Structures are given as C-alpha cells and as structure tokens.
Amino acid sequence: MVASRVAESLRDPLLRWWQDHGRHQIPWKCLSSGEPAGNGAVLDPYPIWVAEVMLQQTQLQVVLPYWQRWMEAFPTREALAAAEEHDVLLLWQGLGYYSRARRLHQGARQWQQLDEWPRDLDPWLALPGIGRSTAGSILSSAFDLPFPILDGNVKRVLSRLIASPRPASRNLPELWQWSEQLLSPEQPRAFNQALMDLGATVCTPKNPCCLQCPWREDCAAYAAGDPAQYPVKDAPRELPFQVIGVGVVLNEAGEVLIDQRLNEGLLGGLWEFPGGKQEPGEAIEVTIARELREELAIEVEVAESLISVDHAYSHKRLRFEVYLCHWRSGEPQPLASQQVRWVQPQQLAEFPFPAANTRIIAALLDHLHPEGGVAAA
C-alpha cells in the first residue's frame, strides 16, 4: 500500500517538472487552437483513441506522421467505419503490428452509431485491442478523469522508483497499485502525461538522466547506485529461426502473382508474395515449388535467386529466400489465403505489404527495369 503522504510528496515535484520540461505539443492532447488542454477541458476521444492504439509497441516520434496522415484520411469515427479494410491497412503500412489497424477499424464500426463517448472503463475494454492502460489513457486524456495508466514507460519508472526485485511483467499488481495511488485526483490528465514524459525523456531504458529527475531523492534504484539495472529482466530466450522460400511468380503478360493473408495473426489481411517454410533437408527451390503447388494449386519453374532478406519479429527470426518464378500451369486458387491476384509490378504500391516485402518489391522492380531502362530478359 502506498502511503498517502508518500503519494502527495511525489505528485507535486513531478507536475512542476512537467510544466517546464513536458511534451506539451502532442497534437491529439491539444485544443483546436493548438494550445495544451487545461484542467477539466474535454477533448475529442477519437484522435486520442487512434493515437493510443498506434502508440502500442511504437514510439511517439514514429507515430506522429502516421497519425497525421490517418486523421487526414479518416478524420472521424464515422469516416473510419465507412472505410474499406484495404485502405486502412495501406495507410498503416510500415507501422507494424497490423492487427492494431484491423481492431481500430472494427471498433469504429462497432461504435459508429454511438451517441455519446463512454466515460467509464468497461465500454472501452469491450473494444478489440483495448486494455486497461490504453483505456485509462484515453479517458484521462480526453475527459481529464482519474484513471491510472501502466504503459511501458510507466512500468519502468515505477519499477525503478521502488527498485522492484521482480520483472515488471511479474509485478503488475504492485505497479498498478502505485500508479493508482500516485495519480493526482485534481489533475489526472497532466499527471499521467507527466509520468509518461518522465519515462520517455529522463528515465530512459539506457543511460537515464537521473540528475534531471524530480524523483531522484525518492528513487530506490538511484539510491542503489545503478538505476539502469531496473526493471529486472527475465532471462533472455533464443528466438527460433526459420527459412522461408518465396516465389515471385511472373506470367507471360509480365504480371506478378500476390495473395492476401487470412485475417489472423500480426500480419492478417496484408498482401504478400506466396511461399512457405523450408523443410529439413529440402532444397529451397523445391520448397518454393511445393508451397506454390499446395497453397495456390499452380506449377511454376523456379528460376534465379532475386534477393535474400533477414527479418526479426518479437517471437522469431526469419530469412526469406526469394526466387523469380515463371508460371507454367494451373489457375491460382486461394487455398490458404483470402484471395489471389495477378497485378502489374508498378501496381504493387497500391497494396499493403508487410515491411519485409519492401526490399523484395524494390529488387523485383530493379530486375525488371534496371537503371530505369527496359525490362530485363
């Protein structure tokens, strides 16, 4: 239990620090005039909702241009609800964790007839992809309501403040308790933003700037002499490694074959070049021909290597061995995907692809039109 006098002694120094050093120009937390929202002001929850979902797993400076483009394309909840999923995913391309975009789109459709924005946690938690911290941040940011947060920055700050001997992921009840009881009931919007800004700009993962921290004298990790050792980390685990054979299939008309992934997993709904995992002892050319036969019901001639691309996800490492292929027979069928299409290579930019495919597309276009000249033979 956090003593009330301890909480009070920490609130004011943090808020004073934030007044001088906080990030006050975050656009979705400002009034229409561009001025930061004062105590009690009500903001439109929709831009905040979009931003908070984008900020899951992604830093502010990366999110900003995506959020601005998003708000230009889908300025309201109703506009997002009316959009095609293809356009939503294309606008999200490059931001990663594409399930966030699908969930935002689904949530907008779920709430498109909503008369008033909810001011309680439960309705927000019922939306796809919204957890307690995201909901709390939306409610405190939009309505200045006293809901605590516990994002990655806050977990780190609080773990260091108490020098928690356990990894943050295994100490969530205690960290939530600290976040709840530290929260300023009079200025919840400002306090939550101050807590996030402290983690983002001072109490950083590496080389924290402790001499600039308003909580330095109360921080148990600072007193221990090595705050960067907190939060305590779980033992690292080795990521599994897989080789994926990918076929860039061209037909006699010069069109390339792409397929759309099923709406599941991190990359659901995106387009890709077909392929699959290499089996032990299998030549990569055999892998590609087999996968295209099993997943698309086509026969191809596997030609030369186009490019090899290494890509790491949070749960595995992949190497894409990409080969040019010539279509020989069979009408492509989406046996393991939503749909397949033959498209002109210059049309590939019109489809949302996973980040790993960017280099594949560039290599294909360079192969077909080296140095801007005629297509390669």
Q: How many CB atoms lie within 10 A of CB 323?
A: 23
**Nearest-angstrom CA–CA distance, 193 and 209:** 18
Average pLDDT by consecutive 10-residue portion of the chain (377 residues)?
77 96 93 86 97 94 96 97 95 90 96 93 95 97 97 96 95 96 96 97 96 96 94 86 97 97 87 96 97 97 96 88 97 95 96 91 92 44
Token readout for 103 is 């969930």
DSSP readout, 269-327? T-EE--EEEPPTT--HHHHHHHHHHHHH--EEEEEEEEEEEEEE-SS-EEEEEEEEEEE
Catalytic positions: 52
Q: Where are the beta strands (DSSP E) in the chain?
A: 241-250, 256-260, 271-272, 275-277, 299-312, 317-329, 339-343
Domains delineated in the chain: 4-229 (1.10.340.30), 241-372 (3.90.79.10)
Tokens of 126: 């019922």
Per-residue confidence (pLDDT) for residue 351, from 0 to 100: 95
For the chain, report the end-to-end CA distance as a whole number of angstroms.
73
Token code pair at residue 142: 């939009």
Query: Is the peptide bond prior to 47 cis by the omega test (within 30 degrees of 0)?
Result: no
Q: What is the pLDDT of residues 83-134, one digit of tens each?
A: 999 999 999 998 888 999 999 999 999 999 898 999 999 999 999 999 999 9
pLDDT of residue 376: 37
> What pLDDT digit, counting tens, does each position of 62-75 carry?
999 999 999 999 99
**Cβ–Cβ under 8 Å, residues 158 and 180:** no
Report the DSSP beta bridge partners of residue 250: 256, 326
Cross-strand partners of 40 = none
Distance of CA 182 to the CA centre of its chain: 28
Rounded Cα distance between 374 and 367, Å, is 10
Q: What sign for the dihedral angle of Cα 286, 288, 289, 293? A: positive
